[in-house]
Amino acid sequence: MTSEQSVKPLRVGVIGLGFGGETHIKSYKQLPNVEVVALAGLEEERLRSLGATYAIPHLYRYYEDILERDDLDAISVGVPNYLHAPIAVAALERGMHVLCEKPLARSGAEAEAMVAAATKANRVLQVVFNHRMRGDVQTLKQYIDEGKLGHIYYAKASWMRRRGIPGSGTWFVSKEMAGGGPLIDLGVHVLDIALHLLGEPEVVTVSAATYNELGRQGRGVDKRAKKSGSGSAYEVEDLATAFLRLANGATLLLETSWATHSSASDDFGVTLYGTEGGAEIKVKNYNWEDTLRIFTDVADVPAEITPHLSRGEGHLAVVRNFVAAIAEGNWSAHNGHEGLRRTRVIDACYSAALHGREVTMPQR
Question: Which residues sit at the interface with ligand NAD, rule CB under 6 A?
Answer: 15-21, 40-43, 62-63, 78-81, 83, 101-102, 128, 130, 185, 227-228
Q: What is the smallest separation between the CB atom of 318 and ligand NAD, expressed in angstroms?
A: 8
Instruction: Kindly tell me which of 43 and 68 has the beta carbon lying closer to ligand NAD.
Output: 43
Distance in angstroms (rounded) separating the CA atoms of residues 290 and 293: 8
Q: What's the min distance (Å) between Cβ of 39 and ligand NAD? A: 10
Cβ closest to ligand NAD, residue 64 vs residue 328: 64
Which residue's CB atom is positioned nearest to ligand NAD?
Answer: 18
Cβ-proximal residues to 346 (8 Å cutoff; 6+ apart), any chain: 103, 180, 183, 184, 187, 188, 191
CB nearer to ligand NAD: pick between 245 and 344: 344
Shortest Å distance, C-beta 151 to ligand NAD: 31
In order of 52, 152, 161, 295, 320, the CA distances from 197 in angstroms are 40, 10, 23, 16, 21
Question: Which CB sits closer to ligand NAD, 18 or 51?
Answer: 18
Least CB distance to ligand NAD at residue 21 (A): 6
Q: Are 204 and 222 in contact (CB under 8 A)?
A: no
Q: Tell me how far, at minimum, the Cβ of 134 lies from ligand NAD, in Å.
A: 11
16 or 182, CB closer to ligand NAD?
A: 16
What is the SS3 assignment for 53? helix
Phi, psi of 99, rounded to the nearest 5 degrees: -110, 120
Nearest residue to 264 (alpha-carbon basis) of 284, 292, 282: 284
* Selection from 129, 97, 130, 131 nearest residue 114 by Cα: 97
